[in-house]
Structure 1
Amino acid sequence: MTENAAKRLKTSDSGAVAIGTHNGHFHADEALAVHMLRQLPAYASASLVRTRDPALLATCHTVVDVGGEYDASQNRYDHHQRTFTTTFPGRPTKLSSAGLVYLHFGRAIVAQHLKESEDSEVVGVVWRKFYESFIEALDAHDNGISSYDPDAIAAAGIEKRFSQGGFGLGAVVGRLNHNWNDVLPSDPVEAQAAEDARFELASRRIGEEFDRDLAYYTTAWLPARAIVQAAYAKRFEFDPEGRVMVFEGLSVPWKDHLYTLEEEQKTEDQKKVLYVLYPEKPTPGAKWRIQAVPVSKDSFQSRKALPEPWRGARDAALDEITGVPGGVFVHASGFIGGNATFEGAKAMAEKACSF
């Protein structure tokens, strides 16, 4: 359990705070670490010192990603030491400076967004979820940890089908460094100022992504939690095996919450949700969707896609194939379909479960 950030932070009477990090080529982890700190009142007006000079770093209130020291009591957050092995609770990935700052200050940042105590349950829920969904990727990127075991990939003979453009979170920052052949000011002071300006831009840029994602998890993902819990609890009303879950108002972000509920309740595979039904709009007479549950959050593979004969069919042709009136469409991949009414969507789900 990390110490409450408000209790640990101490600033001088003048209120002047400086954050130190290294100069030279910058990376996503320290750019985000600086942004996160500046979300807190104690750091809101903090100046930035980019240097590798130990004497200058010693004058900084907080130092990230440089200095060879991890000591939260002294606000030193480097991860490059040979002996450094710290990870986020329950996760295997070694932390970067971003992960270290989030470990110690993330609860305070989340609490500000939710207007809750740092120790509240909901703050803890979002704090852990946001680490896994956003921060951990940066920790892995900075520490050279691949998403998949490279040896296992090579042994399986799996080759990448296409380039993703190299546009991950790390690239958001990396692309803002000077190119090797850029013309830089000849004066060292001016050159450093130009580099610092690029770093500040990079910190704001990845900070925008951080702020946007955190806003989603606090204002959309978290409120959806109770709605998914209620729908999950009622699923046996729609299918005796609990394989159909229904949102009776409007669909909410449900995948994360569904997988968590199934894991927490140790749901047997044959009773896991296969299809989710929801209206297209929260208005009377709205059409309904039937969506197959993917095998994982980001997978294009469904636990049980809608039947192959239905795929690509629409309207009357779909009615004839399914034997259910009111059909609108079924996607060519079978991951989603539609019907004019709830009763029609439910009938499609019943037939798909037993197909």
Structure 2
Amino acid sequence: MIVTHSGRFHADEVFALAMLKFLPEFKDQEVLRTREADDIEQAEIVLDVGGDYNHEKKRYDHHQNSFTEQRTNGIPFATAGIIWRHYAESIFKQMGLEADNEIQFAVKWLDAKLIEDLDAVDNGLYSDDPRPSVSLLVAMMNESSDEPEKQQAAFDKAVNFASDVLKNFIQAAINQAQVVTELEAKLDTLENGIWVLDSKAPFKDFIQNRPEIQRVVYPRNEEQFGVYCNGKENHLPERFRGLREGELSKVSGLEDTVFCHKSGFMAVTLSKESALFLAKSV
């Protein structure tokens, strides 16, 4: 039996439960929403309630003063992040990812894209932030009524929603991770901060923590090549920004430019040579 708390639900424990349901050992387990100590004691796994964190005993609460763990970026763990930390590798293996470096990349990618935000909201870091978020969407799925049956139905609907969201994120993480080895093999084309790719691949997340890669030249499709800049400090020069076709060709001296974004973070040309020229421009 899996136990989590009764009353209003939050994205934290909803997503934690949805994660566990990807694994065969938890998929068909009964879920009980309660705060009763006897029920918590008898549960096989406890989420977000009970005042205890002990992985060996499968107790995963984070509200007690004794729990102070946080990520290297300062975002503290909540139950979603704790469950992800302990079970993410198993989830990806269950979904067919095998290589260790790909799994590690996927785990970190999804944590940064989704889980750490759930944890931050649950720990009150964004309590005054008016932005819509996944946490807000889940919170709004609570019933206004206090009737237990209606709230249970709302909770079940929220878990299904979280499962669908996670499934899409997991597949995206797998897609990203499966090109890691391929992209690592292409790093030998990096020269003076310019990385030239000979095929289209999802490289943007791959380069985020690689400051040695300043700009990337890559094929966008069969007719166009792109320049992508890794960080604001590497954006293309002001003289190119916001210009299109004839105007950009006049300023650059090229004949096959398409446009440069007004912020300078990317540009498009019709040839690899022209894209490389823009990428090398200062």
TM-score by shorter chain over 0.5: yes
User: Quick check: 1:216 aligned with 2:158?
Assistant: no
Q: 1:317 and 1:116 mapped to 2: Cα distance?
A: 49
- 2:260 — aligned with what? 330
Moved runs in structure 1, 4+ residues, more than 6 A?
A: none
Q: 2:90 and 2:55 mapped to 1: Cα distance?
A: 15
Change (3 A) 1:146 1:54: same
- 1:142 — aligned with what? 122
Change (3 A) 1:273 1:58: closer
- 1:159 — aligned with what? none
**Amino acid of the residue matched to residue 81 of structure 1?**
Q
1:20–1:49 CA contact under 8 A, matched in 2: yes
Distance apart, 1:87 and its partner CA: 3.7
- 1:77 — aligned with what? 60
User: Quick check: 1:65 aligned with 2:48?
Assistant: yes
Correspondences of 1:29-108 after superposition (within 5 Å):
29-87=12-70, 90=72, 92-108=74-90
**Amino acid of the residue matched to residue 177 of structure 1?**
N
User: Quick check: 1:234 aligned with 2:189?
Assistant: yes
Change (3 A) 1:280 1:49: same
Name the TM-score, length of structure 1 as normaliser: 0.73
- 1:313 — aligned with what? 243
**5+ residue gaps in structure 2?**
none
Change (3 A) 1:325 1:230: farther
1:19–1:63 CA contact under 8 A, matched in 2: yes
Distance apart, 1:319 and its partner CA: 1.7
**1:21-71 CA distance string (max 9 Å, x none):** 111011111101111111110111121111111122333221111112222
Q: 2:130 and 2:164 mapped to 1: Cα distance?
A: 20
User: Quick check: 1:340 aligned with 2:277?
Assistant: no
Q: 1:71 and 1:234 mapped to 2: Cα distance?
A: 47
**Amino acid of the residue matched to residue 347 of structure 1?**
F
Change (3 A) 1:109 1:315: same
Secondary structure in 2 matching 1:273 = coil
User: Quick check: 1:114 aligned with 2:64?
Assistant: no
Size of the aligned set, in residue pairs, is 282
> RMSD between aligned alpha carbons?
2.3
2:207–2:230 CA contact under 8 A, matched in 1: no
**1:267-286 CA distance string (max 9 Å, x none):** xxxxx3332111221x3xx2
**Amino acid of the residue matched to residue 319 of structure 1?**
S
**Amino acid of the residue matched to residue 260 of structure 1?**
N
Q: 2:13 and 2:104 mapped to 1: Cα distance?
A: 24
Correspondences of 1:192-211 after superposition (within 5 Å):
192-211=148-167
- 1:279 — aligned with what? 219
Q: 2:188 and 2:63 mapped to 1: Cα distance?
A: 47
**Amino acid of the residue matched to residue 254 of structure 2?**
V
Change (3 A) 1:125 1:347: closer
**Amino acid of the residue matched to residue 188 of structure 2?**
A
Correspondences of 1:260-271 after superposition (within 5 Å):
260-262=209-211
Q: 1:91 and 1:321 mapped to 2: Cα distance?
A: 42
Distance apart, 1:306 and its partner CA: 2.3
**1:222-276 CA distance string (max 9 Å, x none):** 123233323332122xxxxx222111111x22233223344xxxxxxxxx33321
**Amino acid of the residue matched to residue 320 of structure 1?**
K
Change (3 A) 1:348 1:46: same
Name the TM-score, length of structure 2 as normaliser: 0.90
Q: 1:94 and 1:308 mapped to 2: Cα distance?
A: 39
Secondary structure in 2 matching 1:26 = coil
User: Quick check: 1:173 aligned with 2:138?
Assistant: yes
Secondary structure in 2 matching 1:74 = coil
- 1:10 — aligned with what? none
Distance apart, 1:104 and its partner CA: 2.0
1:172–1:202 CA contact under 8 A, matched in 2: no
1:172–1:205 CA contact under 8 A, matched in 2: no
Secondary structure in 2 matching 1:248 = coil
**Amino acid of the residue matched to residue 125 of structure 1?**
F
Q: 1:317 and 1:257 mapped to 2: Cα distance?
A: 33
Secondary structure in 1 matching 2:228 = strand
Distance apart, 1:333 and its partner CA: 2.4
Q: 1:54 and 1:194 mapped to 2: Cα distance?
A: 24
Change (3 A) 1:63 1:346: same
